């Protein structure tokens, strides 16, 4: 589908961008990791996205110009802006905001009209990431997804609403939308918790869709929220399920995955019989599909970014029970090029009405752009770190390497809504603890291995924990326990045996729930108010990177 | 104990959840005293009264242990009994019917 | 009384080699495609790590789970009879990231194993 972009003029309007010719007879529309962003916003793609081990320098681990070159996307175009951090502030001004469910709804309607029978799949991370999703415990997103016409979904952050709420929404509110997760089982005897797959007939073709929830949910997020359930990649069970649905007559088998792209690429090389993996979790906005060979043939792997910025369109030509060909296009959702759907706009207005005043309160006006995404740090996280250090009177601050959160341009008012876009989880407790220098190093080593382990099955798909106060160096290519070096506080080497006062938020341990600490956004608000309305530009504290540069996944 | 014995092919899959602390002997109480080891050591399974499996467990088996094994030949109605003995000499036996 | 009483010395071993010897294994320990070990790459909870070990080899008398970096290597040993398959599952505690073994010992004392690295992590973060 990239040829079309190459031919497109930068000034070309939405009619051309979105007038995607139909191909074949089975179409899947793919939305993932919307993180509850009902309204259009900005999202700056990473300038640092290093690939570990064999993934170094390979898609999706390319950024900026290197990514555009590899995917043959002309620079200086709206699509180039959607895919990269390049000249971000000016381009964001020029092309406007992305996503928004009212604009997405218009695009989905158009595509469904041109592709009769098309299904809309949601890869998860839909019920978390905004104030209203937190305050309505996911209700706003369930209602919006049903109106959007989502047919099938799987999950990750959904589970942080807790087992009871997830069950209630899935069993009583979601229908006819189906929640699929073959890899979630009860912790006692390993019974399935959700349906694992569904078979739908599209224009006479039997299509099996299997759901794969985020396999490491109880590790990346608090286990107590899913205490009775167990997850996992479950490669062998997946193979069995694929074989079963094939034997039962499925002509096309698709995995709706929340594994993360590196993990999906490995899975695709080991499991046979899957035609396509539509993936999420790692928020890789990748404009093309990657073909992976395995003993059954080949599997197409995609990843559709985040925050409602993109809609993936995968068209298959299936004739005589055989897959003859496919086309994949990742459509950027530009709010300025897609008129808002009135029905969806009304739903969103209704959801927001009771909260509008709370959401709109201005806390400061930033002088620099505030973003999060990137392997090591962003200006938005630096704001959180600076606030934690000061309010908690700490020497060191940690902020989790989440990949969600919207981007605020310099000069745009920083509202409570934006702050919650950056921090809204069901366990955003602010913490302060005494940690030894040795423990601090161990924490950094642990997170670094979850990001840079050369085997994707051992990765967790987040970014490096953001660090305030402390300076360090990282060698991504080193082994576990060997990556972090030269830890310094105020220029002095960190003492392994000394205790330091460390602030953080969003702990996964259960003790924090009963400690009655404040949510992190209250502390940050307090700090923002003390800035007197203006917020100076933030300089992100990033580690020295050793032995890894230059790398096409790193832009200076 | 919770026991599930389900026919599969010509045999049966038996899954068991036991209640036991499985204390390792390596933890300390709040006063710094070592909590003595207390764990299941021996597990026996019988099919219609005949021993089909024995197992030895150390303190590294998880609290409230899980056990799964597969009987080569079993049919619905057969009786499966599971027994354990722990470091204190306590024992317990429970029975289930293959379904 | 059980057919095999608790083998205390095997559970006190601090290496795979010593544990296998104490369980009656003799000769070299060989990695084998005919032993399988299933477990998570990353443990959801280091206190409850599900393992499945199996071997289709004829004449397997014992199947054991071992965690190299636990204070004591041997976690559990299953004595195989003609009535059961050499295919067992249990859940074990792991103190830290470690290679985990399923070891199958044949009647002649030969020991075969499958090995897998299982990571125990502090957790947190995510996309
Ligand atoms: Mn995710
Ligand atoms: Mn996500």
Q: What is the CATH number of the domain that holds A428?
A: 3.90.780.10
Mean pLDDT of chain A: 96
**A292 and A246, same structural domain?**
yes
Q: pLDDT tens digits for A457-508?
A: 999 878 999 999 999 999 999 999 999 999 999 999 999 999 999 999 999 9
- Report the distance separating Cα A436 and Cα A110, nearest Å: 57
In chain A, the residue whose alpha carbon lies closest to the alpha carbon of C119 is A458
In angstroms, the separation between the Cα of residue C100 and the nearest Cα of chain A is: 15
Q: Is B85 on the interface with A (CB under 8 A)?
A: no
Q: Residue A486: how many CB atoms within 10 A of its CB?
A: 13
Facing C127 at nearest CB: one of A283, A449, A458: A283
Q: Domain extents for chain C? A: 8-118
Determine, for residues C127 and A465 on separate chains, whether the beta-carbon distance falls below 8 Å: no
Determine, for residues C87 and B41 on separate chains, whether the beta-carbon distance falls below 8 Å: no
CB pairs under 8 A between A and B: 6
Facing C44 at nearest CB: one of A231, A283, A449: A231
Residue A2 confidence (pLDDT) above 60: no
Q: pLDDT tens digits for A126-151?
A: 999 999 999 999 999 999 999 999 99
| Alpha-carbon distances, residue A262 vs A211, A217, A277, A362, A374 (angstroms) | 17, 17, 12, 39, 16
Q: What is the DSSP string of B44-94?
A: EEEETTEEEEEEEE-TTBPSS-EEEEEESS--TT-EEEEEEEETTS-EEEE
Q: Is position A473 within any domain? A: yes
In chain C, the residue whose alpha carbon lies closest to the alpha carbon of B59 is C75
In angstroms, the separation between the Cα of residue C113 and the nearest Cα of chain A is: 20
Closest of A258, A173, A150, A148 to residue A210, by C-alpha: A258
Q: Examine the fold and report which residue of A348, A369, A394 is the final residue of a domain before the chain moves on.
A: A348
* Under 8 Å between Cβ of B24 and B34: no
**A194 and A102, same structural domain?**
yes
Number of domains in chain A: 3
- Chain C residues 74-93 with CB within 8 Å of chain B: 74-85, 87-93
Q: How many CA atoms lie within 13 A of A30 on its CB side?
A: 32
Q: What is the distance in A from the centroid of ligand 2 to the CA of A32? A: 8
**A13 and A105, same structural domain?**
no
Q: What is the pLDDT of residue A8?
A: 46
Both tokens assigned to A432: 């302060």
Q: What is the pLDDT of residue B50?
A: 98
Both tokens assigned to A259: 């594994």
Q: What is the distance in A from the centroid of ligand 1 to the CA of A402? A: 9
* Under 8 Å between Cβ of B41 and B71: no
- Report the distance separating Cα A77 and Cα C52, nearest Å: 53
Closest of A233, A255, A277, A281 to residue A461, by C-alpha: A281
- Which domain range does residue A339 map to? 97-348
Once rounded to an integer, what is the mean pLDDT over residues A359-388?
A: 98
ipTM for this prediction = 0.95
CB burial readout A174-192, b (16+ within 10 A) else e: beebbbbbbbbbebeeeee
Task: Determine whether A201 is exposed, middle or buried from the number of CB atoms within 10 Å of its CB (0-12, 13-18, 19+).
Answer: exposed
Q: What is the pLDDT of residue A219?
A: 95
Determine, for residues A462 and C127 on separate chains, whether the beta-carbon distance falls below 8 Å: yes
Q: Is C2 on the interface with B (CB under 8 A)?
A: yes
* Under 8 Å between Cβ of A202 and A26: yes
In this structure, CATH architecture of domain B2-97 = Sandwich (2.60)
Q: What is the pLDDT of residue C127?
A: 54
Q: pLDDT tens digits for A497-551?
A: 999 999 999 999 888 888 878 999 999 999 999 999 899 999 999 999 999 999 9
- Report the distance separating Cα C38 and Cα A343, nearest Å: 50
Most distant pair of Cα atoms in chain A: their distance: 70
In angstroms, the separation between the Cα of residue B38 and the nearest Cα of chain A is: 22
Print pLDDT tens along chain B (99 aa). Answer: 999 999 999 999 999 999 999 999 999 999 999 999 999 999 999 999 999 999 999 999 999 999 999 999 999 999 999 999 999 999 999 999 999
Residue for token pair 């704001």:
A383
Host H or E run for residue A244: helix A235-247
Q: Is position A268 within any domain? A: yes
Residue A44 confidence (pLDDT) above 70: yes
Both tokens assigned to A475: 């060698």
Q: Is position A27 within any domain? A: no
Q: Is position A479 within any domain? A: yes
Most distant pair of Cα atoms in chain C: their distance: 53
In this structure, of A67-71, A183-187, A198-202, A460-464, the range with the lowest mean pLDDT score is A460-464
Question: Which residues from C are below 8 Å from A when comparing CB atoms?
Answer: 38, 40-45, 48, 50, 97, 117, 119, 121-127
Q: pLDDT tens digits for A381-403?
A: 999 999 999 999 999 999 999 99
The angle subtended at Cα A15 by Cα A12 and Cα A18, nearest 5°, is: 100
* Under 8 Å between Cβ of A437 and A488: no
Q: Return all residues near A382 (Cβ < 8 A) that are at least 6 apart.
A: A466, A468, A538, A539, A540, A541
Determine, for residues A220 and C44 on separate chains, whether the beta-carbon distance falls below 8 Å: no
In angstroms, the separation between the Cα of residue A507 and the nearest Cα of chain B is: 24
Q: What is the pLDDT of residue C3?
A: 55
Facing A260 at nearest CB: one of C40, C43, C127: C127
Helices (H), C6-125: 8-12, 16-22
Q: What is the pLDDT of residue A14?
A: 66
Q: Is C58 on the interface with B (CB under 8 A)?
A: no
Facing B60 at nearest CB: one of C5, C84, C93: C93
Q: Examine the fold and report which residue of A68, A96, A124 is the final residue of a domain before the chain moves on.
A: A96
Looking at all shown ligands, the one closest to residue A34's CA atom is 2
Q: pLDDT tens digits for C59-115?
A: 999 999 999 999 999 999 999 999 999 999 999 999 999 999 999 999 999 999 999
Query: Phi and psi of A238, rounded to 5°?
Result: -65, -45
Q: What is the pLDDT of residue A462?
A: 87
Q: At C27, is the pLDDT very low, low, confident or very high (cuts 50, 70, 90)? A: confident
In CATH terms, the superfamily for domain C8-118 is SoxY domain (2.60.40.2470)
Percentage of chain C lying above the pLDDT 70 cut: 94
Q: Is A191 on the interface with B (CB under 8 A)?
A: no
In angstroms, the separation between the Cα of residue C48 and the nearest Cα of chain B is: 6
| Alpha-carbon distances, residue A321 vs A197, A252, A318, A325 (angstroms) | 20, 8, 6, 12
CB burial readout A81-96, b (16+ within 10 A) else e: bbbbbbebeebbeebe
Q: pLDDT tens digits for C81-90?
A: 999 999 999 9
């Amino acid at each position: 589908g990239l040829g079309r972009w190459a031919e497109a003029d930068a000034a070309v309007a939405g009619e051309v961008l979105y007038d995607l010719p139909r191909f074949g007879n089975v179409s899947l529309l793919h939305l993932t990791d919307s993180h509850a962003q009902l309204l259009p916003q900005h999202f700056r793609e990473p300038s640092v996205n290093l690939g570990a081990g064999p993934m170094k320098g390979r898609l999706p681990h390319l950024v900026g110009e290197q990514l555009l070159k590899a995917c043959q996307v002309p620079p200086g175009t709206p699509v180039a802006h959607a895919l990269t951090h390049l000249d971000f502030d000016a381009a964001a001004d020029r092309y406007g905001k992305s996503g928004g469910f009212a604009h997405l709804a218009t695009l989905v309607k158009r595509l469904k009209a041109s592709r009769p029978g098309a299904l809309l799949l949601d890869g998860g991370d839909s019920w978390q990431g905004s104030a209203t999703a937190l305050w309505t415990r996911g209700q706003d997103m369930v209602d919006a997804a049903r109106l959007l016409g989502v047919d099938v979904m799987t999950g990750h952050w959904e589970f942080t609403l807790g087992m009871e709420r997830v069950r209630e929404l899935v069993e009583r509110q979601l229908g006819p939308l189906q929640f699929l997760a073959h890899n979630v089982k009860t912790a006692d005897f390993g019974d399935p918790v959700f349906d694992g797959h569904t078979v739908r007939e599209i224009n006479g073709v039997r299509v099996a869709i299997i759901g794969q929830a985020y396999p490491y949910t109880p590790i990346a997020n608090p286990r107590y929220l899913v205490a009775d359930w167990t997850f996992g990649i479950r490669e062998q069970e997946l193979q069995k399920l694929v074989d079963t649905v094939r034997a039962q007559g499925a002509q096309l088998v698709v995995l709706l995955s929340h594994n993360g792209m590196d993990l999906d690429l490995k899975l695709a090389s080991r499991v046979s019989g899957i035609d396509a993996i539509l993936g999420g979790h790692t928020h890789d906005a990748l404009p093309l599909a990657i073909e992976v060979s395995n003993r059954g043939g080949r599997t197409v792997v995609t990843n559709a970014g985040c925050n409602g910025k993109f809609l993936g369109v995968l068209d298959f030509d299936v004739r005589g029970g055989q897959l003859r060909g496919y086309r994949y296009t990742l459509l950027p959702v530009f709010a300025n090029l897609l008129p808002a759907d009135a029905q969806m706009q009304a739903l969103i207005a209704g959801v927001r009405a009771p909260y509008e005043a709370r959401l709109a309160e201005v806390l400061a006006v930033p002088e620099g752009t505030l973003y999060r995404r990137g392997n090591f740090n962003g200006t938005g996280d630096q704001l959180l770190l600076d606030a934690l250090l000061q309010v908690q009177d700490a020497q060191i601050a940690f902020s989790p390497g989440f990949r969600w959160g919207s981007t605020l341009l310099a000069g745009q008012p920083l509202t409570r809504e934006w702050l919650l876009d950056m921090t809204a989880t069901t366990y955003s407790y602010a913490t302060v603890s005494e940690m030894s220098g040795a423990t601090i190093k161990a924490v950094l080593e642990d997170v670094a291995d979850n990001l840079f382990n050369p085997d994707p099955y051992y990765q967790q798909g987040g970014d490096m924990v953001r660090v305030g106060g402390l300076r360090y160096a990282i060698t991504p290519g080193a082994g576990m326990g060997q990556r972090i070096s030269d830890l310094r506080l105020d220029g002095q080497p960190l003492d392994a045996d000394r205790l330091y006062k460390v602030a953080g938020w969003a702990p996964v341990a259960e003790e924090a729930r009963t400690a009655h600490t404040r949510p992190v956004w209250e502390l940050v608000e307090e700090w923002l108010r003390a800035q007197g309305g203006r917020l100076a530009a933030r300089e992100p504290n990033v580690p020295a990177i050793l032995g890894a540069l230059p790398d096409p996944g790193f832009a200076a | 104990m919770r026991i599930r014995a389900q026919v599969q092919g010509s045999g049966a899959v038996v899954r068991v959840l036991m209640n036991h602390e499985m204390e390792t002997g390596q933890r300390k109480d709040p006063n710094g005293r070592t909590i003595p080891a207390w764990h299941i050591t021996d597990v026996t399974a019988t099919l219609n009264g005949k021993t089909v499996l024995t197992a030895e467990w150390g303190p590294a088996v998880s609290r409230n242990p899980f056990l799964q094994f597969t009987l080569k030949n079993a049919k619905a109605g057969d009786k499966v009994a599971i027994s354990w003995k722990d470091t204190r000499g306590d024992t317990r036996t429970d029975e289930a019917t293959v379904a | 009384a059980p057919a095999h009483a608790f083998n205390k010395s095997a559970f006190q071993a601090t290496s795979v080699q010593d544990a296998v010897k104490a369980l009656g294994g003799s000769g070299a320990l060989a990695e084998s495609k005919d032993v399988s070990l299933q477990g998570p790459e990353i443990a959801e909870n280091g206190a409850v790590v599900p393992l499945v070990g199996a071997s289709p080899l004829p004449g397997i008398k014992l199947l054991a789970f071992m965690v190299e970096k636990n204070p004591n290597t041997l976690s559990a040993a299953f004595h195989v009879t003609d009535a059961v398959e050499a295919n067992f599952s249990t859940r074990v505690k792991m103190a830290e990231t470690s290679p985990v073994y399923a070891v199958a010992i044949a009647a002649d004392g030969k020991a075969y194993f499958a090995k897998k690295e299982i990571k125990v992590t502090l957790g947190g973060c995510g996309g």
